Amino acid sequence: MEIFDKKIASEVATQLLEIKAIRLQPEKPFTWASGWKSPIYCDNRLSLSYPAVRNFIKESLAQVIKTNFTTAEAIAGVATAGIPQGALLADELSLPFVYVRSKPKGHGMENMIEGKVTVGQKVVVVEDLVSTGGSSLKAVADLRAAGFEVLGMVAIFTYGFEIAEKNFKEAGVKLICLSDYSSLLTPALANDYIDDSTLASLVEWRKDPASWKPV
């Protein structure tokens, strides 16, 4: 996985902090579905309610596509948070859009992929957030099974876990993100979202999130 541009990474992180799409609470950690205690909570859906932030993300993702996936013929969003981001991006690039469900629709056509399925079409997948990569790569597998050629994936933010990097490498999927956890810490400190005493704890969480404990 890679970060597209360091300046954009810092700006995206700063904007997400400002609108509270990213919250840092090392002294009162969040509990993830996995049971992990985490000093960070990221909800990029909030960016949709802020036109300036929404447009910056859309335009930055468009730059990623134009630079790295020049042969893209369609955009695919991952349900649910990747759907609006993907639709905005597809509109910006004037490309067809589909989205991938987490499980088949329970009635009607029982579709896993919504939108026109064109076998052999070159598609870029859009995610809002990548943690371990499990759900993201399942969407890739579903697209491939339907006959799409997946060029890669773009995402707004990633925690940068080693397990995610391993999973994407094994799946043969190129992942490019606008921002990541490492890019977040400097603007968070500079803008007083955290202080020096909590920075070390945040760095330790990133190294071993499964066994991290708040100080």
> Known binding site for 5-phospho-alpha-D-ribose 1-diphosphate: residues?
101, 105, 107, 127-135
Phi, psi of 30 (to 5 degrees): -85, 160
Going across the sheet that includes 97-100, the strands are 2-3, 175-180, 149-158, 122-130, 74-78, 97-100, 113-114
Phi, psi of 17 (to 5 degrees): -65, -45
> Known binding site: residues?
101, 105, 107, 127-135
> Known binding site for orotate: residues?
131
Cβ distance 102 to 92 under 8 Å?
Answer: no
- 146: three-class secondary structure by DSSP: coil
User: What tokens were used for 118?
Assistant: 């064109």
